[in-house]
Structure 1
């Protein structure tokens, strides 16, 4: 309110007003939209040993300072797993009572039998000791079981009919612990996570939770019980108090420090959570100003007031940090959000930074912030050029150490975790001795060198694929969809209201999930043990189950099978099933040819292919007349270009790769197993 802003953790990102004007603050308490607001970077900020280039770990301290200045704070945090800690703290007692557990593994992981009153009392007594030793105004008592709940060493109670599954078991225990503490005391909660593989572990309990039980749900990963938003709504209806949520935004382990988050999802998510009893946001991310500095500043502002105008906040960030270069920087940040180009991003970002530099005065604060982003993009370049050798890895890490003081990439995570190859002899990294922080002049010289060797910038299509403009031509040929070896995810927009006919099966077994955008409509294992008929194609047999599913015209639906060499037959004419290439789906054996639409404006197709020579006689794109179009290397690793002649634009092409590790980069990454028409 006073005009002081810390847009990033580095000193260069602090902005103060030209003149101090004290605002008129209303005489009342200000309440944030979310009581608990926290984030941490995967891999942490502790090195374990002193690093010569940062002996006092100022990186960690400056990130903590930045969090405080941007009002990140949490009264109640996730406490982590407790089962093994329970055993270690009570070893003699638990060793003396094997009847409280199902085997040695159950005991070591603290998976008590909740139908044993003495075991429950021992657990509650241990939690009471933790409470008695706790200091501070707010206390969160964790009752989260170890991973592996629902396994052979985690039995359900025999004589407790209210406990129907393993989610019920552990939330029953949370309720039981919560009985020992005042239900309306806002300074203490009993907390655990709602997540886990299988269809039961993330379920909301079948009974009410006490008001002082504080679940932290994980809807968007590591759960199979619900559609993500469905999980939020179901849990909101089940709790008597409030909820926390745990989500993954550009985490270091998955992103390797590259940009992988869409800022335009921040406000819709936060508003949805806020309306559904969530008062705690726990984000796992990366403590790195390069890929997520702007993300975390925007998130912090909106977690404090979820109804702030997003565009005004974004413009404020760009104007204050980059001045007249704001539009060029926005172009780069928006592409990172909406259409990140992997290795191709280096040339595109270099180009944006070049234009940005031309808009501001040299050595100005704006120019210096752009300079830091130039240093980050060079890290991106080294990352994408890494060839898996120790020499290449050393080059990457030595540069990482030199930019460490800029807090652009989470150095501690890279040093401490097995993120970068080679790893055959462990995670061997340079010792960091004799490292000198990179200077502004060195960054600028390197930037000019990077520009000289940058690949030609290709054009990203502005075309948006509209399902309403799709016209059905023919069904999927019966021999095409045969070997769903992994997760096969397809979607469609219903062209009619009524029941549609789908047959789903597998050579062995596969879980079939059918959902709309709000909830799971069907979840059923199908295959040899649950079938209506057997279908034999080319000497292979599938157990097939028939489904009649009500749909509503204009709604979008999603279907998924997982493993088992699954197959799907859409029997209702008029429906075109689409997918997004790039994830493992069908087995390489008889990997299906796919159809895709090339926009009228496209002069070339840029795509990624992990296998340059193709596999299973594939590795090519075919024009509408069937002609195989020769690919050309773009210069970026595993990225290729195919020219599109005027006669081939605005038409349907085919992609034949023989494997799933490919995707389109500059046109919509959408394909189908059946021919269709598109009217642009």
Structure 2
């Protein structure tokens, strides 16, 4: 089906480019485009040799005189990729899954002057939006949007030789519920008792009967998939990933196997051996995730394929890079599962950096030998369209220049309106914070772009789509400006829900998933009516009767209203990327409250993991005090990635009154990265007085506000801008360089804090205290996110200091 769709795209795209109809034929014509597998008898040997070896997805496009062009690959999937590789050479692009984002240049000549070939750097390249599409929706019973995303991924060469599946324990529990309920000894034991049946319960890894049943089930599932379509990427392996969550068995027979990872991979090994007996090339797959993220102590069967989830939901005490390195020593090849702007966390805000974050992560995986990735993400062109377009290119060619790709995207899509659209998208990628100030800037960028695109309807249509997206950002912002449970909140929720569905077809937001999340949040606040009115499983629900069309003209009117409604504030957001260095003494000032006789800094209470940097003048000891009721991990690394310290810390029940003193030897002068890994459990921290550090951000309870913390205000800063997620208990207190308290202007319900900086107080150290950050760190919008317990010990980015 993919190849047939690609051939259809080839014909239709060439027709648009040339104005000429193209037909397909199975006969040997004297001229034309030959789409052939390398094992076809009519493929000349020198043409077939152009296809790179080692990948079933590899392809080549080879001109053969003036009248023939060969598109060749060893598999149908390779031919599919070859078709789009050829069309890309003609300038064709599919930037977003919409006709208005498709670029097909007019051409009189579709020949190529030289051969080209390609093979992917990753054997499997997959992303999927959390929650999917919802099936046959009232607004889209034929699933047109889902098909457009499928087509878009094919055209941008996503997919791969294989695709691993996820959790299987839930399906196993449902299928064998009767047997599992009848055999208590099959079910996991927790705290000495067998757990009742549930859809996410684990079975006893030490019970041979239930393990045998699971093995049989997985082998049969694999057999059926192979029989249906042996070339289906899902037929490459059968998943043996347990049900989601924890709750692994602690019965003596399970404990005897070893750690949680040992138990999970013990079961995987048994399935792997059984699969290999019937299918010598068969494999099993599972995640390194949650309680079984750690590398097991047992050997793994050669046909066990592991997909590591290093960046979330792992409790190994290792950093993501360390976990990947540990697994790379255990297995010859592995995949990665990651979370890229999922709507459940990011709500389709443009918080993902497509220029730096995505390319750097893909290249890092490639360097470690990762050969596949599966990213949970969003079906939102507004939030992730440029990121996934760039990702599609770098997944084949990691050395590609992402800036050139981004530049081409802007030129192709916006033409003479490129400048304001570049300004907006670059600002978003460097630092996006949803404020009235950002809405004012975005609306003005769109207004400028629209004026520049006045005589080009194609460019104007794309600007209109971003207008749709920014209006969503405004309505989401206004929804969160209302009080939870209030009539104003309910009215804002209905307006937001109706608008999200009105732009569903644009692909600019993942409307289905966002609607689920909004309905769920309103239901927990007592508003059941929203979910009922917009029941996505009921085409007769009342909400579907009044979904507006929102034409491009109407969107432009709303953008103009946005320009009038939101005024920009007098500050410019900025990020700092320089090397962390000690602050020169002439910038320190005199507002320190630190008592030089104290041996330790004031205690700081944290409610989640913490990362910061320290600086050593020489080889010395770093002796922080940490107090935690339950075990947490301390990890200290040098700038070259070398682990200096890695240990577990558990103070016990007296953690509120007692400390655990840690002694870390820093072997040489320089910068060190400190990471305290706590699974959302409160702990205390104090460092030796005089420790030079840079604390970028933290989470703490409103009941345990911070002590005095110091930060640097660069000399060009005329107005300090800070964003606070949590405002219910009031903002922090701020102090100028002389220690005088300064009251901030509170904007957006107190979330945006603004402080004018007198000329003589710029380029100096300011401070704050009583900061309460239960919903996430303070965001320093235009000064370095670098704090210390005293002015003298502050490390700051070098580009924040004059002349650097």
TM-score (norm 1): 0.89
2:683 equivalent to 1:566: yes
The aligned residue for residue 397 of structure 2 is: 305
The aligned residue for residue 251 of structure 1 is: 342
CA contact (8 A) 2:727 2:751 kept: yes
2:448 equivalent to 1:355: yes
Secondary structure at 1:321 match in 2: helix
- C-alpha distance in 2 between matches for 1:110 and 1:559: 33
Deviation at 1:566, TM superposition (A): 3.1
The aligned residue for residue 635 of structure 2 is: 514
Alignment of 1:138-537 (within 5 A): 138=233, 139=235, 140-149=237-246, 151=248, 153-155=249-251, 157=253, 163-182=257-276, 188-197=282-291, 201-225=292-316, 226-240=318-332, 242-263=333-354, 264-343=356-435, 344-386=437-479, 387=482, 388=484, 389-418=489-518, 421-423=521-523, 424-426=526-528, 428=531, 430=534, 431-460=543-572, 462=574, 464=576, 466-470=579-583, 481-482=602-603, 484-487=605-608, 489-506=610-627, 508-516=629-637, 518=641, 521-528=645-652
- C-alpha distance in 2 between matches for 1:97 and 1:597: 64
The alignment's C-alpha RMSD in Å is 3.0
**Which whole-Å deviations, capped at 9, do the CAs of 1:649-679 have from their partners, x for residues lacking one?**
0011111344125432222232222223665
- C-alpha distance in 1 between matches for 2:330 and 2:447: 53
**Relative to 1, partners in 2 of residues 1:624 and 1:159: Cα closer, same or farther, differing over 3 Å?**
closer
Q: Which has the higher contact order (CA 8 A, sep 6+)?
A: 1
Secondary structure at 2:509 match in 1: coil
Q: Larger radius of gyration, structure 1 or 2? A: 2
CA contact (8 A) 1:609 1:663 kept: yes
The aligned residue for residue 17 of structure 1 is: 105
Deviation at 1:395, TM superposition (A): 1.0
- C-alpha distance in 1 between matches for 2:624 and 2:247: 31
The aligned residue for residue 638 of structure 1 is: 751
**Relative to 1, partners in 2 of residues 1:420 and 1:601: Cα closer, same or farther, differing over 3 Å?**
farther
Alignment of 1:585-624 (within 5 A): 585=700, 588-610=703-725, 614-615=729-730, 619-624=732-737
Deviation at 1:106, TM superposition (A): 7.0
Deviation at 1:181, TM superposition (A): 3.2
CA contact (8 A) 1:167 1:205 kept: yes
* 157, 164, 170: which one aligns with 1:84: 170
- C-alpha distance in 1 between matches for 2:384 and 2:364: 22
TM-score (norm 2): 0.76
CA contact (8 A) 1:483 1:565 kept: no
* 691, 703, 710: which one aligns with 1:575: 691
**Relative to 1, partners in 2 of residues 1:397 and 1:425: Cα closer, same or farther, differing over 3 Å?**
closer
Deviation at 1:647, TM superposition (A): 0.9
Secondary structure at 1:292 match in 2: helix
Deviation at 1:132, TM superposition (A): 2.1
Secondary structure at 1:274 match in 2: helix
- C-alpha distance in 1 between matches for 2:642 and 2:267: 28
- C-alpha distance in 1 between matches for 2:321 and 2:431: 24
Choose between structure 1 and 2: higher helix proportion: 2
The aligned residue for residue 556 of structure 1 is: 672
Alignment coverage as a number of residue pairs: 658
CA contact (8 A) 2:359 2:402 kept: yes
Deviation at 1:467, TM superposition (A): 1.6
Deviation at 1:442, TM superposition (A): 0.6
**Relative to 1, partners in 2 of residues 1:252 and 1:419: Cα closer, same or farther, differing over 3 Å?**
farther
**Relative to 1, partners in 2 of residues 1:420 and 1:123: Cα closer, same or farther, differing over 3 Å?**
closer
Task: After superposing the two structures, state which structure 1 stretch, 395-404 or 53-62, moved more.
Answer: 53-62
**Relative to 1, partners in 2 of residues 1:519 and 1:76: Cα closer, same or farther, differing over 3 Å?**
farther
**Relative to 1, partners in 2 of residues 1:541 and 1:96: Cα closer, same or farther, differing over 3 Å?**
closer
**Which whole-Å deviations, capped at 9, do the CAs of 1:333-389 have from their partners, x for residues lacking one?**
222222112223212222322333344343432222112111211110111011241
